[in-house]
Amino acid sequence: MASSTESTLNQPAALPAPPGSIAEHQPGWPQTNFETRSLVNISPPEIAKRRSSNWWGFRGETVQITRHTQFEYGFGNPWHLLIATDVAERFDGESFVEGLPRSTLRDSTHKLTFVPAGRDFRGWQKPRVLTHTTCFYIDPRGLLADPELRFEEIEFKPRLLFYDRDVWQTALKLKPAIENADTVHRQYAEALGIMLTHELVRINADTELHEPVGRGGLASWQQKRVAAYMEAHVADDIPLMMGGVGAPPALMH
């Protein structure tokens, strides 16, 4: 079984130090030595409920925001980071991954973010709904990947708030393994981890995945209100700038 930790107070779980070599450890077993460097930092930390599980070559963590309080987050670490956002809608805020434009997308539900090892990731938000994400920290030496992939030699590209069905489905299957580490067999979780590393290699080489980064726009709840308003006033003169100047205030709150 995987090792599991949970934190709801001021100290998030720490990231395990990458092993010196595979031969120094019994293959397949999670590392038990942890660095003092934290995972994704959230401030104020007391608003985040965190649960994590550790396997050979990668770590998974669920993070749930418990209060409608403005918060900041950041990450800079020699591990790759993949974030699968289950729920996230904000009134205001922005996200940034080093090497990409900033995003002020308001609804990032079911979006993915990939931060290559060593890149800076940070942001802030004033949440409309309580954010719930799943984070995966992956050893850049690719302990789970096929050696022929040369995972550790790949120069991964950062991606901010994108969607890929196969990556999302793999992350979705790993989430219960994090939350129920005591009942999920280690080999099952590590098999999914292998799939995840291969999916990251695939999307890194897939030029068709480059999609525009959302830099604003309406959240889904606002889009629904605009659609309802237009349907109810189809015979009226609707202001040209429905989403901006001239939009009825009721639609934007």
pLDDT of residue 146: 80
* Residue that terminates a domain, selected from 189, 209, 229: 209
Whether the predicted pLDDT of 80 surpasses 70: yes
Whether the predicted pLDDT of 174 surpasses 70: yes
- Give yes or no: residues 185 and 247 share one domain: no
Q: What CA–CA distances, in Å, run from 236 to 109, 223, 242?
A: 33, 19, 13
Share of the chain above pLDDT 70, in %: 66
pLDDT of residue 231: 60
Residue ranges making up the domain that contains 138: 3-209
* Domains of the chain: total: 2
pLDDT of residue 114: 98
Nearest-angstrom CA–CA distance, 109 and 107: 6
- Whether 215 is in a domain gets the answer no
Average pLDDT of the chain to the nearest whole number: 78
pLDDT in tens, 158-171: 999 999 999 999 99
Question: Furthest-apart CA pair in the chain: how many Å?
Answer: 74
Tell if the pTM clears 0.75, that is, is over it.
Answer: no
The CATH number assigned to the domain holding 47 equals: 2.60.120.10
Residue 33 phi, psi dihedral angles, 5° rounding: -90, 125
Burial class (CB in 10 A: 0-12, 13-18, 19+), 240: exposed
Which DSSP string do the residues of 44-56 spell out, in sequence order? SGGGEEEEEEEET
pLDDT in tens, 176-234: 999 988 888 888 999 999 999 999 999 999 754 444 444 444 445 445 555 555 565 55
pLDDT in tens, 118-165: 999 999 999 999 999 999 999 998 777 788 888 999 999 999 999 999
- Give yes or no: residues 86 and 144 share one domain: yes
- Give yes or no: residues 173 and 226 share one domain: no
- Is the dihedral angle over the CA atoms 215, 71, 119, 135 positive or is it negative? negative
- Whether 214 is in a domain gets the answer no
Position 37 confidence tier, pLDDT thresholds 50, 70, 90: low
Position 237 confidence tier, pLDDT thresholds 50, 70, 90: low
The DSSP symbol for 89 reads B
